[in-house]
Chain A
Amino acid sequence: MTVRDLLNRMDYDFTLLTVTVNGTVVHPDDFEDFEIPDESDVRVIHLHHGG
């Protein structure tokens, strides 16, 4: 399963996300190709305006 597959399955369609797999950031350009290893810790962070 790729990162894009996971986002689609979870209905995460917001574009301003930071995705990490096992603590490493996956660039949005790589979402389509990055295969998530089994048993991975995947985090999807929704980024918000304000600073």
Chain B
Amino acid sequence: MTEELFLRNVPGSRERMSGAVIGIAGCGGLGSNAAVSLIRAGVDRLILADHDRVEISNLNRQAFFHSDVGAFKSVVLAEHLRGINPEAEVISHVETVTKRNMSELFSEADILIEAFDRAEQKQWLINTWSKTFPDRPIVSGNGIAGIGRTGMLRVTKIGNIYFCGDMTSEMEEGLCAPRVAIVANMQAHVVVELLVKGSIDGNG
């Protein structure tokens, strides 16, 4: 069944990603959408961490359904991911990711996707990950709000940090599902590029 699932994949890509472990810190608009794309692309080992439950207001941009409301995001997202690829290994942690537990939660992750909501969380996660695992990439979402300005969404590589987004928009502008998903998929695509090619093309 799995072979048929990935029949239309870029030839050879799935083999290059096999065995890689991708961590996703935060299962909201960025994390949930990135996770879905990664599973569809052929990543088969994911570690998810989020302490939140699904709320109705999440449904305008996050990869959840009405039937998920009230459930823990990391748990129900893992179920959805296995619904796409039943053979995928998806570990879900219902926990707040902190400086103390980050290295333990994501010790096996080869690459981490930063999908937090608050800028202060993004700051400490980037700092702590870069110090703890300096050779492992972290892919951060930064600037996802509003409508339009699609050309401003880009990937910025600095060392082993990959920023995806417009780097300027603030949440007060509101969140639009297509734009949030573009950034989430940029993050997922960076992960795929790193696994399959070892680097990303250009710099966004």
Q: How far is the CB of A44 from chain B (nearest CB, A)?
A: 10
- How far is A1 from B170 in the complex, measured between Cα atoms in Å? 31
A16 within 8 A of B: yes
A51 and B170: CB pair below 8 A?
A: no
With a cutoff of 8 Å between Cβ atoms, the chain A residues found around residue B46 in the complex are none
Contact surface of A with B, Cβ cutoff 8 Å: 16-18, 20, 22-25, 27-28, 43, 45-51
B39 within 8 A of A: no
Q: Which residues of B contact A20 (CB under 8 A)?
A: 158-159, 161
Question: Nearest CB to that of B166 among chain A residues?
Answer: A48
A45 contacts B159, C-beta separation under 8 Å = no
Q: List B residues at the A interface (Cβ < 8 Å).
A: 26, 28-31, 114-120, 122-123, 126-127, 130-131, 134, 141-145, 156, 158-161, 163, 165, 167-171, 175, 180
Contact A51 B167 (CB under 8 A): no
**Cα–Cα distance between A24 and B118 once the two chains are bound (Å):** 22
For B158, what are the chain A residues with a Cβ–Cβ distance below 8 Å? 20, 23, 43, 45
A28 vs chain B, min Cβ distance (A): 7
**A-B contact sample (20 more), CB < 8 A, given A16-B123, A50-B180:** A16-B119, A16-B122, A18-B123, A23-B160, A25-B126, A25-B130, A25-B131, A27-B131, A45-B167, A48-B119, A48-B165, A48-B169, A49-B119, A49-B171, A50-B29, A50-B145, A50-B169, A50-B175, A51-B29, A51-B116
